[in-house]
Structure 1
């Protein structure tokens, strides 16, 4: 079994836990609350009438939240269970959307169109091993002048151990393999003890250079001294929706965002 198949199996199992967790709060979403955060809403801006491709959409809440904002959306994810749940939510809530199951790197086998916006967020690119290929795919699916937007956990966070000490290299390159024992949402235990995750660490320079070298112009890159989710060890809530390291507070970066535009004539 290859690395991506291991991840697909584990995310199939995690999806069932996530849809029932207070972390995702599906019932509030069904009642009309957005699952989007202030950062992406403010930085991406008005999406009314725009065609959006959401890479690694999980079970579709953010994708459908963008649809509520007026975008025409297509969500893609490697997990069968996630795509099934996303489709069910779309139909139940009567929010038009298309969901496609595929590994990001196999997307051209299942999707042949272009978009105004390609979007990805929060714990996505650590599941990808080749950012040059990723950026080529982003370019291929953007219309000329189209926008790519990412908001992600800062790679510095992954240098810290559970005691908030720097123990790992910022410049990791080898894949990291872990046994999946609990969900990050509410620490629910996984019933299948044979599941594992394979992840890859990507520095900010790797992310930026992959986009620049594949026909994208960086509009901005921002860094944030807080997390919007309580999903890392030893965080404390600074204010509503802003979580920081108990040990380091706002002295360290917790997240970053990038907005880039496809250059005319780039392929």
Structure 2
């Protein structure tokens, strides 16, 4: 894989920002009005964050970051896209949280340097973040280095098993253990609207075992690993929204596979 993957991905994500900011999918107006973008299992598994310092790696436009701030955390969001960080700062000001939220432009691999070696009670990340990184062990070392003693890393992500099921989600169509970076060219983002000028992007697949092992090798102690039966969008055509329940799920009576997962890992005091 060419070493220009980072530039290509940054250009692609810079283009996505105005598209996402105007989309119904991100609904920034609803967020300004008080909507919470966190998943219920994240709130349950991470617990009370009041007064705690929280670093959100690969934060995009900062809605999840600011949702934690609304719950009482002192938050720092970091993203490699300057337009995304500019949007996040504007959101923080709009909802009156600029004094409890800061946003930094930096590649995730440079987080320690960009933040002056600061450590946090909670390092939070995920929801589509890891596929953009070629080396999950390097990511784990960087993320763990920002966790304070006695603090925790919390990761919520799309389940890698979904990648073997193809577009229909009804049969195994590809190797779960493929490791090569893949280049894609898509004229649209996943919100389905708006044209992107920079369509090239590079993604990597990381197995659940690789992710857990990388965190353990980085010196963190795994406290929980949960798999979840719903996701944030209609990943497969048969997934349904259930009234009163979040996300998209397999229909009743149909065999289920995990669609998201979450990990909480702690740095020993």
- Report the TM-score, using the length of structure 2 for normalisation: 0.92
Query: Is residue 80 of structure 2 the alignment partner of residue 74 of structure 1?
Result: no
Q: Runs of 5+ in structure 2 lacking a partner?
A: none
1:176 & 1:103 partners in 2: Cα distance?
20
**CA deviation string 1:231-257 (max 9, x = no partner):** 524132244323124699452111110
Query: Is residue 124 of structure 2 the alignment partner of residue 122 of structure 1?
Result: no
Query: Is residue 206 of structure 2 the alignment partner of residue 206 of structure 1?
Result: no
Contact 2:60 2:79 in 1 (8 A): yes
Query: Is residue 152 of structure 2 the alignment partner of residue 147 of structure 1?
Result: yes
| Counterparts in 2 of 1:188 and 1:111: CA distance versus 1, 3 Å | same
RMSD between aligned residues: 1.7
Contact 1:244 1:250 in 2 (8 A): no
Distance apart, 1:166 and its partner CA: 1.8
1:248 & 1:195 partners in 2: Cα distance?
39
Please list, as runs of the form range in 1=range in 2, the aligned pairs for 1:175-190 lying within 5 A after superposition: 175-185=181-191, 187-190=192-195
Quick check: 85-94 or 143-152, which moved more? 85-94
Query: Which residue is equivalent to 1:89?
Result: 91
Distance apart, 1:21 and its partner CA: 1.0
Moved over 3 A (4+): 245-250
How many residues in Structure 1 have an aligned counterpart in Structure 2? Answer: 261
Please list, as runs of the form range in 1=range in 2, the aligned pairs for 1:1-267 lying within 5 A after superposition: 2-95=4-97, 96-112=100-116, 113-164=118-169, 165-185=171-191, 187-192=192-197, 194-227=198-231, 229-234=232-237, 235-239=239-243, 240-245=245-250, 249=254, 251-264=256-269
- Report the TM-score, using the length of structure 1 for normalisation: 0.93
| Counterparts in 2 of 1:174 and 1:44: CA distance versus 1, 3 Å | same
Q: Runs of 5+ in structure 1 lacking a partner?
A: none
